[in-house]
């Protein structure tokens, strides 16, 4: 059961935390474990969908590598959702996914993020580019730039 955590880093101002909006579709590119080809397009995984897996059970996504036809499955762990805290030294995963048959290599960052400042919560923030707002309650600028995410394979037993 290969599991991958999604970790974030960013330059921020006035931000307490950044977290994924829910529910959401996770768009990612994957590298096939069999042929090592990277999917040319993003594959979108809806955490609320249940698809039958040929080997039994259900997953959030079941598809085939477009090059070698290896079956790839993705299952989002709904209990794993976390947040990125700019002031923290800890690497708290934004989410954990079980991916079989492939390795996730790139995320479509998109616009489904929640940015929380001292006095406001901004939903639907597009962090694929630099993002800026004004927190009227605290009277401060809130910004996120250079938002980057990366997948990391978890050791067994996490």
Reference 17, options 109, 117, 92; nearest CA is 117
Q: What is the pTM of this model?
A: 0.91
Assign residue 137 a region (left: φ > 0; alpha: ψ between -120 and 50; beta: otherwise). Answer: alpha
Residuewise pLDDT in 10s, the chain (158 residues)? 899 999 999 999 999 999 999 999 999 999 999 999 999 999 999 999 999 887 788 999 999 999 999 999 999 999 999 999 999 988 899 999 999 999 999 999 999 999 999 999 999 999 999 999 999 999 999 999 999 999 999 997 65
Tell me the pLDDT tens digit for each residue of 68-97: 999 999 999 999 999 999 999 888 999 999
Cis peptide before 80 (omega within 30 of 0): no
How is the chain split among helix, strand and coil, in percent rounded to 5? 0, 55, 45
């Amino acid at each position: 059961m290969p599991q991958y955590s999604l970790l974030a880093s960013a330059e921020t101002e006035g931000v307490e935390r950044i977290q994924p909006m829910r529910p959401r579709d996770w768009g990612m590119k994957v590298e096939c474990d069999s042929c090592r080809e990277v999917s040319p397009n993003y594959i979108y995984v809806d955490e609320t969908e249940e698809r039958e897996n040929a080997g039994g059970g259900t997953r959030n996504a079941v598809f085939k590598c477009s090059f070698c036809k290896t079956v790839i499955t993705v299952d989002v762990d709904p209990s794993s959702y976390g947040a990125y805290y700019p002031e923290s030294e800890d690497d708290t995963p934004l989410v954990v996914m079980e991916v079989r048959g492939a390795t996730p290599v790139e995320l479509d960052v998109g616009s489904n993020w929640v940015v929380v400042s001292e006095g406001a919560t901004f939903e639907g923030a597009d962090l694929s580019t630099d993002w800026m707002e004004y927190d009227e309650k605290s009277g401060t600028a809130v910004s996120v730039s250079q938002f980057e995410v990366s997948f990391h394979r978890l050791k067994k037993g996490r």
